[in-house]
Amino acid sequence: MIDPVSRRAFLGMTGAAVGAAVLPPVKQGSLGGPAIHLRGVARPTAISSANSLAPVTQALELVQAGVDTLDAAVEGVKIQELDPEDTSVGYGGLPNEHGVVQLDASCVHGPSRRAGAVGALEGIKTPSEVAKLVLKYTDHIMLVGEGAKQFALSYGFKEEDLMTQASREDWLRWRANRGPKDDWLDVPDDENMVRPTGTINLNVVNAAGDLSSVTTTSGLAWKIPGRVGDSPIIGAGQYTDNDIGGAGSTGRGESNIMVCGAFLTVEHMRRGMAPTDACLETLRRVMQMTPPRLLHPDGTPRFDLSFYAVNKAGEFGAGSLYDRTRWGPRRYAVHDGREASFQDAAYLYERAV
């Protein structure tokens, strides 16, 4: 549910911020390109990962109805967090190696310059909402583990089993096949034994140029218990500077943490890069920071990582290391105020087929 108190408070701050400050110029186009000067007018836009057509639609409809950007972003990603079919976030997200679902999420509210995050949260279906409550009601930024759960329970969240029949079967299949010398009998060779990652990052800007970002995930499937990825790290999993734009990431979190990728992407936009160029420049930095064990002999990465960005004007873009996933072209979801669509992400490498 949208929190009317937070909505009032955030809208109040939004109005004050816009009224009190003359917004700085935002340059558009690639680095060195022409700059246009905005006075708080943006094209409302929501951009997210490819599993998020419904979330960008929800977020955009809400900001167009006047709902605060953070409330709208969280309401958007909650659709996927509550969807048992999405094995990358929330309820039905794939568990750690012990069969326990541990969720990470974070958010930044641009107008108030506040952030909230939870890491390794168990038993709560919607970690994005809990991250928003950390932002709103505490002087802290991140709560983890049992403390994060107790915090959520104190606000009336219900503790629930986050495993579905399907995610339990995936985990049991992984456990059976994890090694040739373990005591578990292997399941048939032809069964899928991939190690999925998945996450949602959603960034939204409203017509006043106010921004928020949120990222939520169940993290790397079969991770070591307690592992926290990039998603709850402010500046890695997502980041917003209300003067510039918002950005966030999906994919191999450890590689993103090493470059503070969401923050870096926003900084590239601050220097005048268009969102797509900013995402690609961050990915180049990721490659500079990648150790040899994570590279193929030809220097291409053994992992994938994507960034999504929107600037204060509502320009958007995304970049990935690879042009395609195992299922097809690497895409992202966007709602540009007129319609929701999938777009192809820019990329650094073509995946050998």
Residues known to be catalytic: 199
The angle subtended at Cα 54 by Cα 5 and Cα 101, nearest 5°, is 80
Q: Is residue 230 within the footprint of ligand GLY (CB under 6 A)? A: yes
Q: Is residue 229 within the footprint of ligand GLY (CB under 6 A)? A: yes
Q: Is 187 exposed, middle or buried (0-12, 13-18, 19+ CB in 10 A)?
A: middle
Please name the residues in contact with 78: beta carbons below 8 A apart, sequence gap of 6 or more.
90, 126, 128, 129
Mark 250-283 as b/e (b = at least 16 C-beta within 10 Å).
Answer: bbbbebbbbbbbbbbbbbbbbebbbbbbbbbbbb
Round to whole Å and give the CA distance between 54 and 318. Answer: 18
Q: Is residue 301 within the footprint of ligand GLY (CB under 6 A)? A: no
Tell me the three state secondary structure of residue 249: strand
Round to whole Å and give the CA distance between 229 and 55. Answer: 22
- Using the rule CB under 6 A, which residue among 250, 265, 276, 282 binds ligand GLY? 250
Q: Is residue 242 within the footprint of ligand GLY (CB under 6 A)? A: no
Q: Is residue 320 within the footprint of ligand GLY (CB under 6 A)? A: no
Number of residues that bind ligand GLY (CB under 6 A): 12
Q: Is residue 212 within the footprint of ligand GLY (CB under 6 A)? A: no
- Using the rule CB under 6 A, which residue among 253, 275, 314, 319 binds ligand GLY? 253
Round to whole Å and give the CA distance between 87 and 218. Answer: 8
Q: How many residues does the chain have?
A: 353
Closer of 126 and 231 to ligand GLY (Cβ): 231
Helices (H), 155-260: 165-177, 253-257
Closer of 135 and 220 to ligand GLY (Cβ): 220
Q: Shortest gap between Cβ of 85 and ligand GLY (angstroms)?
A: 19
Closer of 116 and 219 to ligand GLY (Cβ): 219
- Using the rule CB under 6 A, which residue among 47, 200, 220, 280 binds ligand GLY? 220
The stretch near ligand GLY (CB under 6 A) out of 10-18, 47-55, 137-145, 224-232 is 224-232
Closer of 128 and 197 to ligand GLY (Cβ): 197
Supply 82's token pair.
């509550």
Closer of 116 and 251 to ligand GLY (Cβ): 251
Kindly identify the residues of this chain, within the stretch 257-286, that bind ligand GLY according to CB under 6 A: none
Q: Shortest gap between Cβ of 189 and ligand GLY (angstroms)?
A: 28
Strand partners, 214: 107, 202
Q: Is residue 231 within the footprint of ligand GLY (CB under 6 A)? A: yes
Pairing of strands 238-241, 200-205: unpaired
Closer of 34 and 291 to ligand GLY (Cβ): 291
Q: Shortest gap between Cβ of 283 and ligand GLY (angstroms)?
A: 14
Mask 162-201, x = binds ligand GLY (CB under 6 A)?
A: -----------------------------------x-x--
Question: 182: which DSSP letter?
Answer: S
Give DSSP secondary structure letters for 261-292: HHHHHHHHHHTT--HHHHHHHHHHHHHHT--G
Residues that bind ligand GLY (CB under 6 A): 197, 199, 217, 219-220, 229-231, 250-253
